[in-house]
Amino acid sequence: MNYENWISYRYLKAKKGRFLAFLNFVSIAGVAIGVMALIIVIGVMEGFGNNLREKIIGTTPHIVIEKETGIQDYKKVQEKIKDIEGIVSSSPYVQGNVFLEEKGSALGQVVRGIDPLTESNVTKVKEYLVKGDIKDLARDGIIIGSELARYFGLQIGDPVTVISPGSGLKGHGWRYQLAVAGIFNTGMVDFDTNLVLIHIQKAQEMFGYAKEKASGIGIKIENPYQAKDIKNKIYETLGYSFLVRTWIDVNRSLFEALFLEKWGLFIILTLMVIVAAFNIVSTLVVTVSSKTHDIGILKSFGVSQAAIRRIFTNQGVFIGMVGVFWGLIAGLGISYILGHYVKVPEQIYSIKHVPVDIQLSDILIIIAAAMFISFLATIYPAYKAAKMEPVEALRYE
Give the pLDDT confidence of 59-73 residue by residue, as tens digits.
788 999 998 888 988
pLDDT single digits (tens) 324-349: 999 999 999 999 998 888 877 766 66
Confidence at residue 32, expressed as pLDDT on a 0 to 100 scale:
92
- SS3 of residue 221 by DSSP: strand
pTM exceeding the 0.75 threshold for the entire prediction: no
Report the pLDDT value the prediction gives residue 379, as an integer from 0 to 100: 86
Q: Name the residue ranges covered by the structural domains of the chain.
A: 3-56+254-394, 87-221
**What pLDDT does 172 receive?**
46
Tell me the C-alpha distance between 119 and 132, whole Å: 15
Confidence at residue 287, expressed as pLDDT on a 0 to 100 scale = 73
* pLDDT on residue 368: 92
End-to-end CA distance of the chain: 30
Q: Are β-strands 105-114 and 87-102 bridged in parallel, bridged antiparallel, or unpaired?
A: antiparallel
pLDDT below 70 — which residues of the chain?
1, 3-5, 8-17, 166-173, 289-296, 298-302, 346-350, 389-397
pLDDT given for residue 81 in this prediction: 92
CA dihedral in degrees (288, 293, 297, 302; nearest 10)?
30
